[in-house]
Structures are given as C-alpha cells and as structure tokens.
Structure 1
Amino acid sequence: ALIDVEMGELMLRTDGDQIMFNVFEAMKRHDEEEPQCYRVEVIEVIEDKCKVQTSFPSLEKGLVDSMDAQEAEWSREIEIFLQQLDGGLEEAPK
C-alpha cells in the first residue's frame, strides 16, 4: 500500500495488479447511492476466507522452525565444547 497524503491517494498493489483510490473523492461521495463501495469491511471477509484456505503450515513457518531447531542443536554442541575446554584447562600443568 502506498499513501500520498498531499494528493489524497491510496494505491494498493498485489500480484502485478494495482488499484488507486482518491480519498478526497471517496469522502465527497460517501453518502451517494452505493455507500457500501467505500467500506473497508470487505477486507475482513477476505482475510477470514484466506485463513481458512491457508490452514497448512506456510513455507516461512517451516523454515523458521527448522532454523530454530538447528540453532538449538548448535547451542547444545557449543555448550559441550565449552565444558570440554573448561575441563581441559583445569587439568593443564601450571
């Protein structure tokens, strides 16, 4: 979404499509024959439908979970190495 406050324009882009809204014109016409055309409530309906359709784990979530698991494994390995180093330093001759 791009908003030009001075020009009163709101541009929405998705998948190569774009639509431009003139906010000042919409405000002037808000009480004409079809005021429902200027409502934002439609977005909530679309959002709810998208949530239902995309109930499978997303690729992003899968990647993040995988990275978190890998980082946890690395942290465990580092902790083991640090313990081994600390143990080796105590046994070293003075």
Structure 2
Amino acid sequence: CRLREVPTEVATYEISSPGRPLGQTFFRRAVKELQAAQAAAPQPPPQPAAQQEQHQDPPHIPQQHQYSYFELGMAATLYEQHYRMDWGL
C-alpha cells in the first residue's frame, strides 16, 4: 500500500467508548414516534354488550375426541402389523 500512496490506518488497539450509544438514540426516537402515532390514531369503538350466549353444539352432534400420541401410535402400529400380515410381508 505504501508504494501506491494509499493511506493506511495505524492500529492503536484502543477501544473508545462513545459519548452516547447510537442504538439508544434511534430507540428513543422510535418510541416517541410510536407514542405520537398511538395518540393520533382514532380510538376503536366500544364493544357492544354480548346479548347472545356462546354457541354450543346440538346434543346429537358428538364432540371430536382428542386422541393422545400413545393412542395414535398404537393405532398406527396395529394397522402396520395388520397390513404386513395381510400381504405376507
């Protein structure tokens, strides 16, 4: 680099602490902008009082049974055993 007259930086191996961290400055500005935007945003209309009861399935429709991982694994294993025995594998 010296032959081509390119300026080089001399390493000083010193860590200089910044006066004020850059990320903190941008974070504070973003928080201020967010608070200003929230204050300027129109407030959502109040929720009307719920006059209906929660929906319930009729009694003739059975609820979906939630199988455990054990039950699913057993069903898959039994199916696989039956399939292999049926085809003679």
In terms of fraction of residues, the more strand-rich structure is 1
TM-score by length of 2: 0.33
Give the greater-gyration-radius structure (CA): 2
In terms of fraction of residues, the more helix-rich structure is 1
Greater relative CO, 1 or 2 (CA 8 Å, sep 6+): 1
